[in-house]
Amino acid sequence: MTNLIEVDVMTESVMKFVKIVIYFSLGIFFICIVILHPNSFQDFFKCINFTVFLAVLFSAFYEKILWRLNPFEKTPKLYRKYIGTIEFNYNGQFGKKNIIVLIKQSLLSVRIRLISDEVISSTITSNIVKENGNYVLYYTYITNPKSRVSDNNPIQYGCCRIVINEPSELIGVYWTSRKTIGDIILHKTTDENETIDYNVNNIQTKQLQLKKWIKNFNRKN
């Protein structure tokens, strides 16, 4: 039997992030001392305030954007938008749906919004871990069904496990509080206006509605 070896990637990222901010702060403080040559406690205090100010700005910018440019950062860099399918099994009934997934990722957090023709699900918690050499995204979510399907498809809580061997293609499984289970396959897309046929048996699209969802999602986040 193979033993599961799991490493919390985000915890490692936090530790590296703290070290980077500390080194940055020490560097700024040293430069400030060299340039200003402080002769009093008040001068030292000014250097400290200036260092803290820049450190706060740097840490916020690094956590949101700069970490993606760090060649030594091992956290998988996910794309903003994916299209794909889910294949589900509920009470012995099998089905398939086309979906769009929008992702907001920073160094320390991942937020996922999944959109289908019936529901929109949003992240509650998320974490990236390393299992036996593979990066895996775990996240819990809550669904927000449309009114027309809310009786048959009420609000649910769920969990998803997605393997990130290659960020351009994600494969995983999910399960919900209603005992629905299924598989999920996602492919990256860089076209913000790309839409899909939500109904696998229907060639009509809902592009205007999708654009509205994306616009609202970006505005809120």
Q: 135-144: per-residue pLDDT in tens?
A: 999 999 999 9
The pLDDT, as a whole number, for residue 204 is 41
Tell me how far apart the alpha carbons of residues 197 and 200 are, in angstroms, rounded to a whole number.
7
The pLDDT, as a whole number, for residue 42 is 87
The pLDDT, as a whole number, for residue 22 is 95
pTM above 0.85?
Answer: no
Coil, helix or strand for 23?
helix
Tell me how far apart the alpha carbons of residues 189 and 82 are, in angstroms, rounded to a whole number.
6
The pLDDT, as a whole number, for residue 187 is 94
The pLDDT, as a whole number, for residue 218 is 67
- CATH assignment of 81-220? 2.40.128
Which parts of the chain register pLDDT below 50?
1-2, 201-207
The pLDDT, as a whole number, for residue 91 is 86
Parts of the chain belonging to CATH 2.40.128? 81-220
Tell me how far apart the alpha carbons of residues 122 and 134 are, in angstroms, rounded to a whole number.
25
Residue 215 CB: number of other CB atoms within 10 A?
A: 11
The pLDDT, as a whole number, for residue 3 is 55
Q: Which helix (H) or strand (E) holds 21?
A: helix 9-36
